[in-house]
Every structure is written in C-alpha cells, then in structure tokens.
Amino acid sequence: MQLVLLSGGSGKRLWPLSNNARSKQFLPLLEKEDGTMESMVQRVVRQATEANLTNNITLATNASQLDIITNQLGNKVSVVTEPERRDTFPAIALAASYLKLAKGCANDEVVVIMPCDPYTEFGYFKTIAKMVECVNANVADLVLMGIQPTYPSEKYGYVVPEQEKSSTEYKKVARFTEKPSVDVAKQLLAQSAYWNGGVFAFRLGYMMQIVEKYMPISNGDKTLSFDEVRNRYSEFPKISFDYEVAEKSKSVAVVPFSGQWKDLGTWNTLTDELKQHTIGNAVMGAHCENTHVINELQNPIFVDGLKDVVVAACPDGILVCTKQHSEEIKKAVENLTPRPMYEERRWGTYRVLDDSYYADGRHSLTKSITLKQGKNISYQIHHHRSETWTFVEGEGIFVLDGQEQRVKAGDTVVIPVEHWHAIKAITELTFIEVQSGNPLIEEDIERTEWKWSE
C-alpha cells in the first residue's frame, strides 16, 4: 500500500509565521508527549508510521517546499514536486505517475491520498486501513473517508450516502455537494451526509487509466518516463480531484470516521490545540485570558490585560489580533511581506537580519545562515552580487574558484561577483552573510556539483 500526502497551501492565514515557502504544515508548534515540538506534517508521518499503516510514504508538493520537507523529514518519505501549482487532480495524477513509472508499482497496488496536515487521532489511520480493505475487496473503484459532521458548515464539501441499508464498514455514495449554504447543510445532515475529508483510496491502475485520457503513457513500443510526464505537467487540466474524478466515478463508497479531526488552518483553531500559552521568548502577565503568544524573535515580548488575542512575531512581521478576527489577515497579507525573512533549507536555515537600500542605488542584504553538520551549500556563482561571510560558530570547508580552505569562528571570506564558491559544515556552522549588489534576488544563482575532498 502506498500513502501519498498532499502538501500545498500558500500560508496566508497563519501570517506572519507562514509564507509561500513555509506553509502552515511546517510550523513546529505542536508539542509531543516528550515535550519536544513538531510540525503538522511531522506529526502525520509519525502517526501513520506508529499505526503501522505503511512505510511507503510519498509527499506531493510544489518545488518551493522541497528543501523544508527534506529538512524536517529527511529520508522518511519520497518527494514528488509539481513544476507549477495546478490544483489537486494534476498533483495526484503526477504522484500516481511517479508510483507507476519511477517506483515501478503494480496496477493492483492500493494508493491512499490524504492531506498532510489534519489534526487527528489514531482511529483516523485505522479508518484508512478499512478503506484499503474495501479497495482490496472490490467494494468500489474509489473509496473515500467521510468525516462525521459536528455542525452544518459552509467550509466543507459533503458526501451523501445511499439510503438503503449497507455494511457498517462502508456505504455506497449517492452524490456530492460542494460547500453548501448553512440551510442546505442542515438538510444534508438530516440525510446522514458526511464531510468530505479529502482522503481517497483506489488501485493504481484505476488512476492511471484516467491519467492516460490526458497523457498517453504507452504508445506502441514507447513508454513515457516519469521525467517526461513531469515536463508535460501543464497538459493536465487545472481542476480538483473531487470534480475530475470523484464526482464522475460510477463506483464510489465512503467509510465513516467519527473521531477527532480538525483543520488547524487559522490562528483561532491552531491556538485551541497549543498546550502552552507562550512559545519562544515571551512572558504573559496574570491578567490575560485565552491569549496566546508565539515569538520567534530574539527580542522578548511581554503582554498583559489581553483577552481572546493571538500575538505572533517572527522576522516576517508581527501580528496582534483578536482570535475572532484573525482569519481576516488572509485579505491583507499580500501587501505585508515582499520576501520570506526566514527559511528552512535541505542544509539548514537562514534568517534575514537586515534589508537596506541606499541613496546611490546600492542594496545590501544581511543573513544569519546555519548549516547542519555534514551538510553543504552547492557550488554556485552570482552575476549581480558580491558576498562577505563572517564565521561565528563551528568549522567548515570553504571553496573559492576550485581552492578549498578550512574556516572557523572568527574567519572572514570575500566572494566577488562572478566567482564560484561553496561551503560544507564539518560541525554545525553559523556565519553572517552580507550581500551587496543589484538586484539581490534568490534567482541570481547558477549551481553545479563540487567533489569534496573530505
């Protein structure tokens, strides 16, 4: 059985902590039993593994999230990156093509698709195991999870089961209703409808038949490679899996789930699940009520006399808002942050310390960069900027135009424009990078491989 986790989202509703490169599923805000913190995606992968569901896990995501996934999950999962965002059907079609063409999975292999960030419990994964059993028993071509509704919501799609008696394990699906009004939702609840939780199970061959409607994989003696499918990704229609597959399928069943299930996509819902009222360098006075403070800055925050408020601070900005109105940040966030000020990469992290423009047209950008032990930044060149690196902690190997040298805390190196360079951490390594030039953009980079001597 293959589990595919869909990881998307632009991170607007949890600004300033989340952004296009660091969506909500990567925020390390959930406390484990041992007191350490984990992100939503780390929690889901851990839960799926502990439930003995499968070790065959693939994340389908956009390319901008590849580094943070590698940083948080390492080799626990395979990763498929979509060249552009095109909705859930093309993302699932690409993931299915990866399983078939790159991993060599058989057509009768059961594939489960689920979001990477539900806040849920062990029973959720037992329900997925029941869905797999239904597919293996040929109950239906497509089996999905139905979440037992707790109120008539306008935010979710609904799955309406057939009314005749059927197995307690599953029900045949009569129809779907997408995000109805509250009045219609009340009528659907009276018909024993479920929320569509976005979890689907099917045989790989079933999905590949749908893929081939848009992109023939086999043509005579020639079979497309996965890379060829990925290069032609734009040929898939930009449409949701629900509209393109679920609602068109003639054979659909639903397996109910009635346990804990939440979407922690807003500050209001996320803070409900935080065990601590302060995270990071923050102090709360005695006169606060239902208030949470999350601080990723080094500067301390003190709050008092606040009720039903969330305060979140990081290099991207500061949010102070009542929880009731916290969802409104999505409307304003486009104009608040020109670029991410903190990112997790496959090699470590960086934080922007200063971004300044000067009267003579010069632009400088200062970062604090930390490489994990044994990790390296690629051999690269910049065409519009010079860089000065001052090492403040650890040891590493620095390369400039093919010449390696050892560096340690206290050393400084200068990298002129149009010079190849790289760095590898012998121990965890932190340095301050000052960029100077115009334009100072992440795209000003060419990369190649460097063969390290040690």
CA distance 128 to 173: 17
Nearest-angstrom CA–CA distance, 208 and 185: 34
| The predicted structure's pLDDT at residue 36 | 93
pLDDT of residue 167: 63
Local structure of residue 51 (DSSP, 8 states): T
pLDDT in tens, 344-364: 999 999 999 999 999 888 899
pLDDT of amino acid 453:
85
Tens of pLDDT along 381-405?
999 999 999 999 999 999 999 999 9
pLDDT for position 205: 96
Which H/E stretch holds residue 369?
strand 363-371
Residue with tokens 């979710």: 156
State the pLDDT at residue 210: 96
pLDDT in tens, 84-123: 988 999 999 999 999 999 999 999 999 999 999 999 999 9
CB 442, CB 340: distance < 8 Å: no
Q: What is the pLDDT of residues 320-343, one digit of tens each?
A: 999 999 888 888 877 776 678 888
Terminal alpha carbon distance of the chain: 40
- At 272-310, the pLDDT tens digits run 999 999 999 999 999 999 999 999 998 999 999 999 999
pLDDT at 123: 95
Q: 397 is written with which tokens?
A: 């190997």
Q: What is the structure's pLDDT at 338?
A: 67
Residue 199 carries which side chain, given as an amino acid letter? V
Query: What confidence score (pLDDT) does residue 179 get?
Result: 87
CB of 172 closer than 8 Å to CB of 140: yes
228 confidence band (pLDDT: 50, 70, 90): very high
The residue-averaged pLDDT of 403-409 equals 97
- DSSP letters spanning 156-174: S-EEEEPSS---SS-EEEE
Place of tokens 């009267």: 359
Of the pLDDT bands very low, low, confident and very high (cuts 50, 70, 90), residue 443 is confident
Q: What is the pLDDT of residue 137?
A: 95
CB 6 within 8 A of CB 116: yes
DSSP element (H, E) containing 81:
strand 78-82
Portion of the chain with pLDDT greater than 70, in percent:
98
Mean pLDDT of the residues in the chain: 92
The whole-number pLDDT of residue 125 equals: 96
Distance CA 430, CA 436 (A): 20
Residue 69 has pLDDT above 70, yes or no: yes
Among residues 397, 428, 427, 392, the alpha carbon closest in space to that of 412 is found at 392
Tokens read off for 314: 């990081």
- Mean pLDDT in residue range 77-89: 93
pLDDT for the residue 441? 87
**Phi and psi (nearest 5°) for 284?**
-115, 130
Question: Rounded to whole angstroms, how far apart are CA atoms 349 and 215?
Answer: 39
Calpha distance 59→235 (Å, rounded) = 21
Please state, in angstroms and rounded to a whole number, the distance separating the CA atoms of residues 279 and 267.
14
Check residue 165 and give its pLDDT: 65
| Residue of 8 and 174 predicted with greater confidence | 174
Percent with pLDDT over 90 in the chain: 76
